[in-house]
Amino acid sequence: MVAPHDPHNASPDDDVRDATDAAHIEAAMRWRLILGRFADESLDYPQLAREVEALDDDARDDLGARLAEAERLEVPLDYLYDRAFAERAHRPTGGAAGSEGLTVPAWLADVREVFPREAVQVIEADALHRFGLHEIVTDASVLARAERNEALVRAILQFKHRMAPEVLDAARQAVREVVDALADTLRRECEPALHGAVARGGRPPVRTARNADWRTTVRRNLAHWDADRARLVVERVYFRHRQRRRSPWRIIVAVDQSGSMADSLIHGAVMAAIFASLPHLSVNLVLWDTRVVDLSHLADDPLEALMASQLGGGTELIPALRHCASLVDEPARTLLVVVSDWYVSDDRAKGLRLAHELREAGVTCIGLNALDAECRPVYDEGFARELANRGWFVASLTPKRLAEHVAKVIA
């Protein structure tokens, strides 16, 4: 064990020793992530935390934070390593303390939380092909036992294209249960604001003589004609708006379905269905990555919309904005909601020009960095800022906050 370090009596030799110790600790952390928990003894891994405490302040803070991060990464990696070793009969099957009892959906959630997007795609593919993590694509009983939550839906959306037909049926039922429960919750939260806005938009005419509809009043009161006195008894006077009725609002919900947007995709599909259930609103649902898929015919069916999605593509904004622009009939009565992390892979300047043109044409444009219950997005802040400079309302919103904002626009 390394002796405690006294910063007040430091010497050049102490600095050299700290640098050497820091290099040793960093190397041990990296090898531990590569080799797994079975290398703990040879790496003297349990001693690393004490060695970090023996370093000077700067090195201790830096390596301490990195050691904590490495320990977070170990849990999902140990889950894979334990399975691989057990399958080869090289090691016991008992899991590490952190990964013991971890389910497949929970493992997938952990991977997506602690690793960058590029690494997630590699790890998930390796989990299937190299480490035998086949339950979620081959065993319907695993889905039947899995807890019904959004983590399970994310896992299903990620791997549904690799599922056997009988497993896909079980997966569809699991998604239906989660989506129905989520939809019920969001309706209770969102509909008061939305129904209020729709009601204000369709308010009855003011009951004044100027707005009286005498033709309708006479026709509907003819049953009360008094033949003896030769006069019409009017029991009810009907009124009408003198202003021309406005066309309904169109709401276009365009959700980035690249791999990092699973939570927003789930909530976006449910919110599109809630919008579609309201009178006087026309709703389009568009999913996009490097492709554009118009699912407007499924806007009222979040289950089918989600099962038709394909998570994992890139983020090409230009084709998505062009398609959304083609759906606009009356700009002043159109609300465009684009949900993305804004890590745009095509021409950023051209995408921003298209976004500006939509706003200049009169479309009300909302850019959401996230649309889910937590609203803790990872997104390109620079691009989001540029989008806001083009007149877009850019934010991270819960579904309830989005409903309240939409209600203000369409009221």
- Per-residue pLDDT band for 316 (boundaries 50, 70, 90) equals very high
Q: Please tell me the predicted confidence (pLDDT) of residue 335.
A: 96
For residue 355, pLDDT beyond 60: yes
Q: Is 0.75 surpassed by the pTM of this model?
A: no
Encode the chain in three state secondary structure: CCCCCCHHHCCHHHHHHHHHHHHHHHHHHHHHHHHCHHHHHHHCHHHHHHHHHCCCHHHHHHHHHHHHHHHHHHHHHHHHHHHHHHHCCCCCCCCCCCCCCCCHHHHHHHHHHHCCHHHHHHHHHHHHHCCCCCHHHHCHHHHHHCCCCHHHHHHHHHHHHHCCHHHHHHHHHHHHHHHHHHHHHHHHHHHHHHHHHHHHHCCCCCCCHHHECHHHHHHHCHHHEECCCCEECCCCCCECCCCCCCCCEEEEEEEECEHHHHHHHHHHHHHHHHHHCCCCEEEEEEEECCCEEECHHHCCCHHHHHHCCCCCECCCHHHHHHHHHHCCCCHHHEEEEEECCCCCCCCHHHHHHHHHHHHHCCCEEEEEEEECCCCCCCCCHHHHHHHHHCCCEEEEECHHHHHHHHHHHHC
For residue 23, pLDDT beyond 60: yes
Pairing of strands 225-226, 281-288: unpaired
State pLDDT tens for residues 52-99. 777 777 767 777 777 777 777 777 777 777 766 665 554 444 444 445
Highest mean pLDDT of the ranges 61-70, 107-116, 377-386: 377-386
Is the torsion defined by CA of 204, 208, 210, 216 positive or negative?
Answer: positive
Q: Best-predicted range by mean pLDDT among 32-46, 109-123, 149-163, 174-188?
A: 174-188
pLDDT of residue 3: 46
What is the pLDDT, as a whole number, of residue 12?
A: 47
Rounded to an integer, the average pLDDT of 204-216 is: 74
